[in-house]
Structure 1
Amino acid sequence: EADAGQRRGVKGLPDSQRFSSDSVDIVPHVDPGAGGAFYVIRKTEDVNKHYEILEELGHGQFGTVYAGRDRRTSKRVAVKSMSKRKAASDPHFCKDIRTEVEIMYHLGGHKNIVQLYGVYEDEHAIHLVMELCEGGDWFERLLENGTYSERQAASAARSVLEALQYCHSLGVVHRDLKPENLLLAHSGPGAQLKLADFGLSAMVPRAALQDPHKRAMDSAGLLHDSVGSPYYVAPEVLMARSYGKEVDVWSLGAVLFIALGGYPPFDGANEQAILKTVVYDPLSFADPTWDGISKGAKDILTRMLTKDPKRRATIPELLAHPWLLPTPMSNAESSGAGLAGGGRVPDAVVMRLQQFSRLHKFKKQARKVLSQFLPEEEVVGLL
């Protein structure tokens, strides 16, 4: 779920980009037979008729996620339930929900994207039934064994890039890529990494997602609203400029930087300070921690975290980068060719990542508690 202060109005689909689905009717309506109840999508059968709702998995400002079980097949699923009371205080609520549903149906079928199985709505809430990823988020998996290698990080980055390439090919920009939105399908070996949470995503005309070197300067069809999470948001989002798919490359670069360095590429004492460093501070590998990380890793991070989106590496360029090539080599060969080696990242990186993850979870929980008692604008910047 997006934290307080991080969710804004989400772009809807242009008429030319809308699509139909047999599973969901995107037109909201008032049902006279239900006492005039308002339906964001449409009235459906009770979700409990088809799914048993089990334990709570997480709770955010915009809904609660539960584990569930298909009553017919016994398959475990995730059920994201969002109270429609939010519609009274958030003018973007209905539009956001419809956009999220449309996008998830639109992206269905890719192995590295969480699947939407169905949408249910009653008088009080909307329920999205989705693929359940029981392996935790990517950082949790990296820290599970107390150590990990550059090759593991490179493999995960490649999976996410392939998912993003698929999204962009269909006109979808994720806009909120961060560790907690990168989930493992299960806790066993060989689990697929899945891109999740499309609540801040948007669709734009595909012509606007062409290679930035070829794209016309006309901003028609590009995105303008400020969304994202401070450590991972691209500078062009913060500078009141139109922007496009390049923001997803930046965000993944920030995630990868933390995985390999143990700390964010741009940091500050509070949210505003972080955002200022994102816009103005240069990328640096001066910390001694980076002495134990390959030149190839630092090169790909430099290309991903280039502040000018026109000069930032594209996904095809990144997938061709030596550090991301899937062919295993010896550590000596990898070092010379710029590939990710199989050796462990420095212990100092693991310790720092553990500290970062613990602090981030504490801040998220504190923010959630504070948001129950303080207006959103007062919560933002406190942590």
Structure 2
Amino acid sequence: MGLHDQYVRLSDVSELITKGTTPTTLGFNFTSQGIGFLRVQNIDQGQVFFERDVLYIDEKTHLALKRSQIKSGDVLVSIAGSIGRAAVVPKNAPELNCNQALAIVRVRNTVFQPYLRYWLESSDAQSQIRGATVTGTISNLSLTQLGNLKILLPPIAEQKRIAAILDKAEELRSLRRKALGELDAIAQSIFLEMFGDPSTNLMKWEKGCLGDVATFIGGGTPKRECPEYFEGSICWATSKDMKSEFLDDTQEHITPEAIKKSATNLVPINTILIVVKSKILMHSLPIAIARVPTCFGQDIKGIKVLKRCEVTFVATALRYGKRWLLERARGINTEGLTLDHLKAFPLLIPPIELQQEFARRVEAIERLKTTHRESIAQLDALFASLQHRAFRGEL
């Protein structure tokens, strides 16, 4: 980048910066099919997922929400919740609309949309977003604040060169993530190969319930009014920590005194943790095996497997049977799994030797996954470095 580069306000190089509206606030309803209606969860890793977890509206509603009709080439930006996710709407996208958590940025021909997408996710843009408030924290970004962001804008050819470099780095990250996802699927395949589909039990294994082979431990939250309780070294998990199949650490840590003065409990290694109360149960069921002694909040239950079963086998059976559990999660505003639900979960009980062999195979897969995660972390660091240099004019 050189003398012709300049910082410009995003609004000065945009034809349109707008956002959507929730149809129900205007008296319209969602439909079972029709025109895709996007939310923040439809923007992930630089892509627009318009066929996954999408709501729908009819043509009349789409016309009424004219200002948020999306076109191919638009840059979508999350401005509420997970702020700063961005993606370019592809050419093959159907008619789409969106809610108020997404902003639509339609740029002039001096801006290459993929360049803008990468910039919006860069540390430069995120720093400006954080600086939009006195506290440095923000739960919503206004359209005015979005438009006032200042972007370093080189000539269009340079923008394309930078975007191409970042595309290559992003492609490497995507390949690693895809490989990691395929390894996740292998464990389920091995489960089916060794034990068959639990719903049909063609292998005629002994049948029982989770309550027959496990005990259950509840959680609790130490008083937030006592900040010293959260200055310890003991892991204390919430649903936010349940991101993978194993739990090695948590965002927050507590003291022994916090355990004594609250309803939380310290469970040993190899306890299965399952989220039982969270809106996430609307679509997924986080389950993890603790690899460190752990406490947890009331949104999680601990499952201690008895000698008749192997922990990895039971955790995989729970993941495979998540639909059974999610169908029993209660209500729209109070989603939750009760202790009775967990105890009643139907479980095959094959010979313990087979369960142990399954666990050994899964452990081998987990070692491969660890290697992939380490590689992804290195690629993430490389990408962040390239991104930082790109938007400082050093690439």
With normalisation by structure 2, the TM-score equals 0.25
Greater Rg by CA: 2
With normalisation by structure 1, the TM-score equals 0.26
